[in-house]
Structure formats: structure tokens, C-alpha cells
Structure 1
Amino acid sequence: MEKELESMNDASTFVLDKFKAEGDYTFLTPDELSDIVGVLIATDQKYMEDADVFGEGVYDEDAAYDLLLDALKSKFSKYNMYLMRMVEDYMDFAEEYLASIDAIDWE
């Protein structure tokens, strides 16, 4: 559990840094951006556990996208016009992170 938590913190830092470097979300406060990344990572983690991605399951990008978008819409509706792009960026950044730690098994 401790290793999993450390990995989640590493992923969160990586993704948050990518969002900041991109510079497209400067209208968000640092706390809002951090909260959004936290929701995205927690939702994605739950999806992967439910889909048994760490076992025999497969990561369905469309299903994950829908869950991620719904999670953001429920908590950050005032940014509704940006949420689809945020989810797309998150998915790209999360994939970069997983590739950087050699955690993707391409089937």
C-alpha cells in the first residue's frame, strides 16, 4: 500500500507539472488545478481497479474518458467548457507518466 501511495504521489506530481508547463489553464488557481488533478487521478485509479487493469483486464480509453469527464463535471461545473480538453490532456500526461516508468503493457 505504501508503494502504491508513493506511485500515486509521483503520478500526481508528474501530471500536475505537465499541466503547469502546458500553460493553457492559467485561469485556474494553483489549488484548483491541484484539486482537478487529484480528482482525475483518483477516478482513473478507481476505474483501473474496477476494470482489473492490474490483473487480466484491459484499459478501455472510452470508458475511462467518460468516467473522468463525469467526475470533473460533478465537481468543477463552472469550468464545463474546458473539461473535455482537461480530460484529454490528463489522459495524454498519464500515458506519458506510465511510459516513463515502463508500466504500460501494449497488447
Structure 2
Amino acid sequence: MKKILLACNLGMSTSLLVRNMEKYAQQIGVEVQIAAEPIAVAEKTWKEWDIIMLGPQVRHVFNRLKDATGGEIPIVIIDMRDYGMMNGEKVLKAALDQLRD
């Protein structure tokens, strides 16, 4: 099971995106755990996740988070268009592409 954390300002705006990603994961038969949390939580719990995806509104913390994780897990910025459209399919595909062995 892949564990995906979506990080934004408060963790609330991404909750719909999480649901859309979970729906798509069910459709394609992929087991995932997805959560939305504020950046402050992501910085403390990053070791529990396989990937952190940043909402476009918090892209400014990319380097800080990359340094905090020491490059141990992928940190990616969600495409602004996909985020705005709450396109769970594209965002999940982007995460899974990063996590391929």
C-alpha cells in the first residue's frame, strides 16, 4: 500500500482532492492511504509517508521540506490546473509515477 500525503495551508482545501483520488484508486484497484494535512504536520510526520504532494499555494516550502526530509521521499508540487479542477485521477497518477520501483 502506498501512503500519500497532500500538504496545504490548513489541510482542508485538499480534502475533496483526497476523496477524488481515493475514488480513482478504487476504480483502478490500487491500495493507497491518502491524507490531507497542513505543512506543519507534514514536516513532523514525513517519515510515515511514501510521498508528499504540495498544494500549489504552498509551493514556497518545497526547498525547506526537501531539506527536512533529506531527499528520503519524493516531494512534488501538484499541478495548479489539476489542483484547481480537483482532478484526483491525474494527481494520483502523478504520485504513482513518482513511486514506481
State the structure with bigger RCO (CA 8 A, min sep 6), 1 or 2: 2
- Relative to total residues, which structure has the larger helix share, 1 or 2? 1
Give the TM-score, by structure 1 length. Answer: 0.32
TM-score by length of structure 2 reads: 0.33
More strand by share: 2
Larger radius of gyration: 1
